[in-house]
Amino acid sequence: MKNILILLLLLIGESFGQTIYEVTPGTMGNEIKLTVANVSETIQAANITVRPPQPLQRRGFQEEPITFHKEAQTIEVLNPGEGKQITFTFDVNRNAPVNRKDTIDFTITSSDGIMMTKQFIFNYIAPKEFKLEQNFPNPFNPTTKIQYQLPQVAKVTLKVYDILGSEVATLVNEEQEAGYKEIQFNGVGYASGMYIYRLQAGNYISTKKMLMIK
């Protein structure tokens, strides 16, 4: 889980530099904690609404890399000199493009018309090693998911064999970019029993067993 703390100051003309935060694709329940502070010594702020970016505000991605659990949160009153913290939780899509940055804009408005935007950047970090995960669910009937990760570009083959070593399916056979990958194996038309799946990515080779029960 990623915890990010951002200090937002209202009622003052202040510029904010951009900070880059590293997030991992496939993680859920990440948190951004925002402290909204009224730095005025005399003026009370009311009905301050904080909104995360809406999906249509960001372009260039085939699917949304980030999903926020709430569309907005409101602070009813901020007295002079007072600060309050709010928390937004979000999930990061496993297919988020690694080594690519995404600009995130939070919009803060108050009832008296004051509005500001806090902009910061997420960097979707690549895995540090090759890895083949255990399929899930396992046992399965008739479909299961297989996940693996690539720290760099590699020629990838992912094949399924029966317990006797005969190839029954080729799931991947192509060069792929670094990232967190997921593919589904559909066992319709295959007999119940133990199967072996084998990943080769460059010089990395790994095999695991999976059980289909019909």
Q: How many CB atoms lie within 10 A of CB 108?
A: 19
Closest to 44 (Cα-Cα) out of 84, 97, 99: 84
Instruction: Give Cα separations from 33 to 86, 95, 124, 203 (angstroms).
Output: 6, 25, 19, 42
Judged by DSSP in three states, 194 sits in strand
Per-residue pLDDT at 43: 80
Kindly tell me the burial class for residue 194, based on how many C-beta atoms sit within 10 Å of its own C-beta (0-12, 13-18, 19 or more): exposed
Find out whether 121 and 101 touch, Cβ atoms under 8 Å.
yes
User: Using one digit for the tens of pLDDT, what is the confidence trace for 107-131?
Assistant: 888 877 767 888 778 899 999 999 9
pLDDT exceeds cutoff 50 at 9: no
Mean of pLDDT values over 14-41:
78
Least confident of 19-33, 51-65, 102-116, 170-184: 51-65
Q: Which domains does the chain have, with CATH numbers?
A: 3-124 (2.60.40.10), 131-212 (2.60.40.1930)
pLDDT exceeds cutoff 70 at 174: yes
Closest to 93 (Cα-Cα) out of 61, 120, 121: 61
Spell out a b/e string for 23-58, using b for 16 or more CB atoms within 10 Å of the CB, else e.
Answer: bbbbbeebebebebbbbbeeeebeebebbbbeeeee
